[in-house]
Amino acid sequence: MPQIFPRSSNFVPLQIAIVLGVLTAGALGAFWYYWTPKYTRVGYQPAQPIPFSHKVHAGQLGLDCRYCHSFVETAAHSNIPTAQVCMSCHSQVQKDNPKLEPLRKAWATGEPVQWVQVHKTPDHAYFNHSVHVNRGVSCVSCHGRVDQMDVVYHAESHAMKFCLDCHRAPESGLRPLDKVTDLGWTATPKGKESAQQAQLDLGNELKKRRDVNPPVNNCAGCHR
Amino acid sequence: MLKASFGALIILAVVGVGLAGFRGDKMGHTPVEWFNDMAHQPKYEPQHRSDFFNDSRAARLPIPGTVPIGFNLPGRYFQTEGNNLVDGLGGFANQPDYFNTGRIGDVYGDGIPDVLTARGAELVVRGQQRYNIYCAVCHGAAGQGNGVVKSFGLATVRPLVDDLLRAQPDGQIFNTITHGKNTMGAYGPVVPVEDRWAIVAYVRALQTATGAKLADLPADEQKKLQEQK
């Protein structure tokens, strides 16, 4: 009686194991690449009910961030402006632009414009805007060059490592208080030192002067 | 067999990355979170929507006729711990006194309220900073009525340094910031009471500066200017 299975079939289980192994590694790799917190939200760029351009308002016109996000210095939450703030200008500027229809509707009825949240920290991390802004951490550190974005996207990762990198070395981001909303600002190098070194020198000085001591080993500092 | 499988896997990886793009690419869809680890909790966050209330706002307006804890209603429900008169950002600002309205009775008062004058030059510096955020956009950094928005269709911007505004009492300027006037919107909901007074102080400083003569300057500043000539 001839053999049903050829001799090479002895290796089939091994081949299956190898292929399954590679497949698993590939799946894990894909998960690590796309879905670990470091990159989950990066690049998120939702369409908004009104195509509001930060590039025009913050970049071209030079509006201070706090003109609209007016309570960022006193509140944990950086507020999205009400229709009232928009209407300060848009009651006259571009007042017939069809793109602004949701705004005019909100102004007439009191129903808020349904803006889509772009940046988000997990609900178990209690990020406080005011405490950062008042110590000289710039908006740009976490939100990127919003003044150059036509449509805002999530530029930085906001994963826990991202927070800790700065909490462990706050000198890398501290700047003078009047430059916090100046997104393009960089420390001026003295003599031949690099821009990075200039930032560290200034940051270390400000850290000492303002007694900056962010929670590093204390979980309850951010996770209450 | 093995070779064919690897070939298929490589094709799968290339197609996968090709369809999904590299990580960090711009995407319009909501991020996919496999394990969201309580990142989204069923609690209301500031300015978020609620499906429970009819107007879908999680933030509620005070019910008409109610008094916030710590708020003194004039003549009624007097609470000794009331904080609405305290000079602080936490204070409620609708007490009908000069500090909160700029009016004494029915007329506009003049002068910066006593609780703020103790801050001296710091108040003006604060005013300058706030002015540059909220006012300079239209009124211009020097109050000439030539801010950047003017070139975008805001036709009527009032200069702040002309005789009419010089003659206005402080309380009236405060009232204009709070409620707006003509084409100007109300800034009361955005700028706290103390900061509105600080802006008034800075507008006065601008008016003084634009009308200044050489003799008004301290001697050493006069000398510096003359040397520049």
Cα–Cα distance for residue pair A194/B4, rounded to 1 Å:
53
A15: nearest CB among B1, B13, B149: B1
Domain ranges of chain A: 9-38, 72-78+118-221
Instruction: Assess if residue B29 is contained within a domain.
Output: no
Cα–Cα distance for residue pair A210/A200, rounded to 1 Å:
15
Cα–Cα distance for residue pair B226/A78, rounded to 1 Å:
48
CB contact under 8 A, B24 and A39: yes
Q: Cβ of A198: how many Cβ atoms within 10 Å? A: 16
Domain span holding position B190? 117-210
Task: Give pLDDT, residue A66.
Answer: 94
Instruction: Assess if residue B195 is contained within a domain.
Output: yes
CB contact under 8 A, B9 and A124: no
Instruction: Assess if residue B41 is contained within a domain.
Output: no
Rounded average pLDDT over B153-160: 84
Task: Give pLDDT, residue B146.
Answer: 87
∠ Cα B112 B114 B118 (to 5°): 95
Task: Give pLDDT, residue B77.
Answer: 47
Residue B87 confidence class, pLDDT cut points 50, 70, 90: very low
pLDDT of B36-84, one tens digit each? Answer: 778 889 889 989 988 898 888 888 877 776 666 656 555 544 444 444 4
Residues of chain A neighbouring B49 (CB-CB closer than 8 A): 114
CB contact under 8 A, A31 and B16: no
Instruction: Assess if residue B148 is contained within a domain.
Output: yes
Looking up residue B124, the CATH number of its domain turns out to be 1.10.760.10
Residues of chain A neighbouring B36 (CB-CB closer than 8 A): 122
Q: Which of B27, B51, B176, B184 should be substituted to probe chain A, the one whose Cβ sees the most A Cβ atoms within 10 Å?
A: B27
Chain A residue nearest residue B43, CA to CA: A123
B103-104 vs B107-108, strand pairing mode: antiparallel
pLDDT of B167-189, one tens digit each? Answer: 999 999 999 998 888 889 899 88
Q: Specify the number of domains making up chain B.
A: 1
Residues of chain A neighbouring B192 (CB-CB closer than 8 A): 74
Instruction: Assess if residue B156 is contained within a domain.
Output: yes
Residues of chain A neighbouring B183 (CB-CB closer than 8 A): 91-92
Residue B86 confidence class, pLDDT cut points 50, 70, 90: very low
Helix, strand, or coil here: A35? helix
Closest by alpha carbon to A181, among A81, A112, A78?
A: A78
Which residues in A25-56 are b (16+ Cβ under 10 Å) and which e? Answer: eeeeeeeeebbebbbbbbbbbbebebebebbe
What value does the mean pLDDT of chain A take? 90
CB contact under 8 A, A80 and B47: yes
What value does the mean pLDDT of chain B take? 82
Please answer whether residues A36 and B22 qualify as being in contact, where contact means their C-beta atoms are separated by less than 8 angstroms: no
A70-79, A201-210, B69-78: segment of lowest average pLDDT: B69-78
Please answer whether residues A64 and B132 qualify as being in contact, where contact means their C-beta atoms are separated by less than 8 angstroms: yes
∠ Cα B88 B93 B96 (to 5°): 130
* Burial of residue B201 (number of CB atoms within 10 Å: 0-12, 13-18, 19+): buried
CB contact under 8 A, A35 and B148: no
Cα–Cα distance for residue pair A139/A132, rounded to 1 Å:
9
Residues of chain B neighbouring A100 (CB-CB closer than 8 A): none
Instruction: Assess if residue B73 is contained within a domain.
Output: no
Closest by alpha carbon to A103, among A95, A62, B190?
A: A95
Residue B85 confidence class, pLDDT cut points 50, 70, 90: very low
Please answer whether residues A43 and B28 qualify as being in contact, where contact means their C-beta atoms are separated by less than 8 angstroms: no
CB contact under 8 A, B152 and A41: no
